[in-house]
Amino acid sequence: MAADRDNRSTGETPEERLAALDSQVRRDLAVIDYPRHDWTPRLTRDGEPVLDVAIIGAGQGGLAAAFALKRGNISNVRIFDRASRGGEGPWITFARMITLRTPKYVTGPDLGIPDLTPRAWYEARYGAEAWERLDKIPRGDWQAYLDWYRAVLDLPVENDRTFTHVAWEDGLLRLTFLDAEGREFRHLARKLVLATGIDGGGRWHVPDFIREALPRERYAHTSEPIDFAALRGKRIGVLGAGASAFDNAATALEEGAASVALCLRRRVIPSVNPYRWMENAGFLAHFSALSDTLRWRFMRHIYELNQPPPQDTFWRCRRHPTFSYHTGCGWTGARMEGDDIVVQTPDGEMRFDFVIIGTGFAVDMALRPETASFAGSVALWRDRFTPPEGEDSAVLAAHPYLGESYQFLPRDAADPLAPMLANIHNFTFSATPSMGLSGASISGMRFGVERLARGLGRDLFVADGAWHLEQLLNYVTPELVSLDPPDA
**What is the rounded CA–CA span in Å between residue 108 and residue 120?**
13
DSSP state of 349: E
Angle at 382 between CA 407 and CA 57, to 5 degrees: 35
The gap from C-alpha 367 to its chain's centroid, in whole angstroms, comes to 18
Closest among 87, 89, 69, 86 to 78, alpha carbons compared: 69
Q: At what angle do helices 60-71 and 139-153 cross, to 10 degrees?
A: 30
Could you give all domains of the chain from N- to C-terminal order, each with its CATH number?
37-101+136-201+363-467 (3.50.50.60), 206-271+308-359 (3.50.50.60)
CB 170 within 8 A of CB 156: no
**What is the rounded CA–CA span in Å between residue 283 and residue 295?**
11
Report the 10 Å Cβ neighbour count for 98.
17
**What is the rounded CA–CA span in Å between residue 309 and residue 243?**
4
pLDDT, block means (10 residues), the chain with 488 residues: 46 92 97 94 97 97 97 97 94 93 90 96 97 96 97 97 96 97 97 94 95 97 96 98 94 98 92 89 95 97 87 95 97 97 96 96 92 96 97 97 98 97 97 89 90 97 98 95 83
CB 152 within 8 A of CB 26: yes
Q: At residue 42, what are phi and psi to the nearest 5 degrees?
A: -85, 105
Q: Where are the alpha helices (DSSP H) in 55-190?
A: 60-71, 118-126, 128-133, 139-153
The CA-atom distances, in angstroms, between 302 and each of 60, 108, 246, 295, 474 are: 23, 22, 20, 11, 54
pTM, two decimals, is 0.94
**What is the rounded CA–CA span in Å between residue 341 and residue 336?**
5
The CA-atom distances, in angstroms, between 356 and each of 225, 246, 316 are: 11, 11, 17
**Which 3-state string (H, E, C) describes 19-65?**
HHHHHHHHHHHHHCCCCCCCCCCCCEECCEEEEEEEEECCCHHHHHH
CB 430 within 8 A of CB 363: yes
Name residue 68's beta-bridge partners.
none
**What is the rounded CA–CA span in Å between residue 358 and residue 210?**
12
**What is the rounded CA–CA span in Å between residue 200 and residue 264?**
25
Q: What share of the chain is helix, strand, coil (3-state, %, to 5)?
A: 40, 20, 40
**What is the rounded CA–CA span in Å between residue 201 and residue 362?**
8
